[in-house]
Structure 1
Amino acid sequence: MLIDHIGACVFERGLLLVDETRNDAALFEMLRNTDRILRLIGRVSFPIFCFLLVEGFLHTHDRKKYALRLFLFALVSEIPFDLAIMGRLFDPVHQNVFFTLLIGLLAMMLCDYFRMQAQPVAQVLVLILAMVLAWALHTDYGYRGVLLIELLYIFRYDRMKQVVAGAVAFSWETTAPLAFIPVWFYNGKRGKSGKWFFYWFYPVHLLILWGVKTFLLPILISV
């Protein structure tokens, strides 16, 4: 995630746009290739977060609090996301990844409810509506991100199907299927708890990258 955002913010919104870089063909090409590598590496992270979301859903003691945390951090992260990735204080065109994860979680909650009510048609409708909502709100990874969460949830008790379905669903991202290698080897045991670190890391690292791009890069370039 951090590596991906370094490419998206510092390179694509910073280094690759300044005249000093664009007027030097060799330097521009080198930085553009570096950005591509960063983005390819960074794209491995999202499927892992989706898998962890499903695992969290299955094992949390309070799903409503889980959803509330995602919602609150979606709000907290929106301005840092817009500043770092979109280049402005607020941009309604693209919403941060917490909204994608929240929609996926709410879809799982509703599907689980309708499963208990033996209403398979309602479950399918929930999954479709969740993807439409992500698409309409322009959340990060959009309907494809929600689809991945839904597939990992549907095949939650079959690791082979889970890995294959996830890898195929995200094969449009060149390196994303690599994320399912550690998923395959996951032993189901909970590791050291650091959930608040990961929640806060997202908005904080975006603000830091925005600060680097906005304040530090101009100084370094002018030297």
Structure 2
Amino acid sequence: MSETDVNLNLKKLTSFDIKVIAFALMIIDHVGRLFFPQAAIFVIIGRLSFPLFAWLAAQGEKYTSDIKKYIFRLLVWGAIAQPIYGKFYYLVFSVHGELNILFTLALGVITIRCTKLVESKFFKFLIVIAFMVVAELLRVEGRISGLIIIYLMSIIDLQSAKWWFFFIGYRLLFIYLNQWSYVELFGIASVGILALYNGEQGGRSKPFYKWFYPLYPLHLGVLLLIKFWLNSQMN
């Protein structure tokens, strides 16, 4: 068996499989933050989710037949989820929150598409910088860091030392500048999941294929209801 055959055998995940994994990791993260705030393992596992969502957004931008419809869908479901997300965020962090991840993904997709409209690397750089400022001003989840991840996932090349340098380097920089917890480093491991991607989309025949967008506000709402019920039982 050749080395190529071995690599093909290892790559067994479709983009649909990765989407399922990303949602599962996100739910674990949210369960931990809401119900087990002292247990770091939930957050550590959850750190793997955003880079996967960033990659999925970049893939969506690359292969969608209607970019406007794709962005519109992200924004609509982001708006629907925002009141629920805001309540969730306040319960977890005791401060009023930011715009949820769907707005981050929408802004990232717009950034990627805009960079494709110019040839110059310098102008591409300026476009990314401009949208980084927008991310900060709009207070989307992840802010500048989140936008950088999405853009890096649009040019992902696991064989490139330069790509790895930027992916790991930016993460270390933001952890240092923002005095983030060491658990943020675990997000780097998500690339190991992406390395198993087999190049296929998959999942369209699944009955719940179109449920991923509503699943975001739905799972937050369910977790909040459980939290409120538990609080009422203790009072």
Equivalent pair of 1:167/1:180 in contact (CA under 8 Å): no
Aligned mates of 1:81, 1:163 — CA distance in 2 = 32
Structure 1 stretches lacking a partner, 5+ long: 13-31
How many percent identity over aligned positions?
27
* Structure 1 residue 164 displacement after superposition: 5.7
Equivalent pair of 1:111/1:123 in contact (CA under 8 Å): yes
Partner residue in 2 for 1:19: none
Partner residue in 2 for 1:159: 158
The correspondence for 1:214, drawn from 207, 228, 233, is 228
Deviating 4+ runs (over 4 angstroms):
none
* Structure 1 residue 170 displacement after superposition: 3.4
Partner residue in 2 for 1:192: 203
Partner residue in 2 for 1:16: none
Equivalent pair of 1:163/1:180 in contact (CA under 8 Å): no
CA RMSD of aligned residues (A): 2.2
Partner residue in 2 for 1:22: none
Q: 1:163 to 1:62 in 2, by over 3 A?
A: farther
Structure 2 stretches lacking a partner, 5+ long: 1-25, 176-183
Equivalent pair of 1:94/1:139 in contact (CA under 8 Å): yes
Partner residue in 2 for 1:8: 33
Aligned mates of 1:180, 1:163 — CA distance in 2 = 10
Aligned mates of 1:166, 1:191 — CA distance in 2 = 27
Using the size of structure 2 for normalisation, the TM-score is 0.74
Q: Which letter does structure 2 place at the counterpart of 1:99?
A: F
The number of equivalent residue pairs is 193
Aligned mates of 2:136, 2:34 — CA distance in 1 = 23
Partner residue in 2 for 1:182: 193
Partner residue in 1 for 2:14: none
* Structure 1 residue 136 displacement after superposition: 1.5
* Structure 1 residue 200 displacement after superposition: 1.1
Q: Secondary structure at the match of 2:116?
A: helix
Aligned mates of 1:127, 1:195 — CA distance in 2 = 31
Equivalent pair of 2:88/2:224 in contact (CA under 8 Å): yes
* Structure 1 residue 218 displacement after superposition: 3.2
More relative contact order, 1 or 2 (CA 8 Å, 6+ apart): 2
Using the size of structure 1 for normalisation, the TM-score is 0.78
